Amino acid sequence: MQQLTPEGQNLVSELAQRHGFSTDAVTHMLFAVLHGNGSMAQFGHPEFGGGGQWMQGGMIMLGDMFNNSLKGRVDSLCNDLSGVLARQPGLLQSGSFQSQNQGGMGYQSQTAGGFQGQSSLFVPDPSVNWWPAELGSPSATGAQNNVKYAYFANARRLAVDTGGNCWVYDTLDHQIGGFSQQQGGGSSITFTSQYGTVNLASLPVVMRNG
């Protein structure tokens, strides 16, 4: 499980006191809500009545199904966690870019699987955050075969990792909406923008391997 920073641990302790749960239970629910993109959670912990589900808007199911008091406390905790996660940059998915052809790679906004970003709650994982740290948190990430992508729309940068070699490109004025990769190597990577289909090789390289 991803580790919490001191700030993340303080948050867990505060919410544990506020809602009357242990820090272990709150930590469990924090990751459950995170993996549900902030709007739902599937969890299993004794303090929550065993296994259960929560969805934003008041839908909640507990193993202890007739314990309405516990339902209220769990719902309140989940709503607090959802609000906290929504204020953390790069944690929750906001949309997706579509792949351009069959066999191409859809470029998805950063999801819970890549929540490390610039969040102050979680310790960064270098095995996931493979791009240069100064780029910050990507607008979208994706992968196909041995190629990984991270798009930084605000910085106008695109990081591409091919077999452990990281290249950073200047995206110029392109507003990138998707990627395609033909089988056989990174030289055949194309993307789409407001200018149509563009070959990745046409972008200026600003950094290689840090």
| Tens-level pLDDT at each residue, the chain (210 residues) | 568 889 999 999 999 999 999 999 999 999 999 888 899 999 999 999 999 999 998 899 999 989 999 999 999 999 999 999 988 865 665 444 433 333 344 433 333 333 334 467 877 665 567 888 888 777 777 777 778 888 888 899 999 988 778 999 999 999 887 777 765 544 578 888 888 888 888 999 998 875
DSSP characters over 49-94? TEEEEEETTTEEEESSTT-HHHHHHHHHHHHHHHHHHHTSTT-S--
For residue 65, the number of C-alpha atoms closer than 13 Å in the C-beta half-sphere is: 1
**Whether the predicted model's global pTM rises above the 0.85 cut:** no
Output the pLDDT for position 126. Answer: 57
pLDDT at 99: 38
Query: Running DSSP on this structure, what letter comes out for residue 4?
Result: B
Rounded-to-integer distance, Cα 172 and Cα 67, Å: 57
Give the pLDDT of residue 164. Answer: 79
3-class secondary structure, 11: helix
Q: How far is CA 102 from CA 137, 162, 181, 182, 207, in A?
A: 28, 21, 10, 10, 30
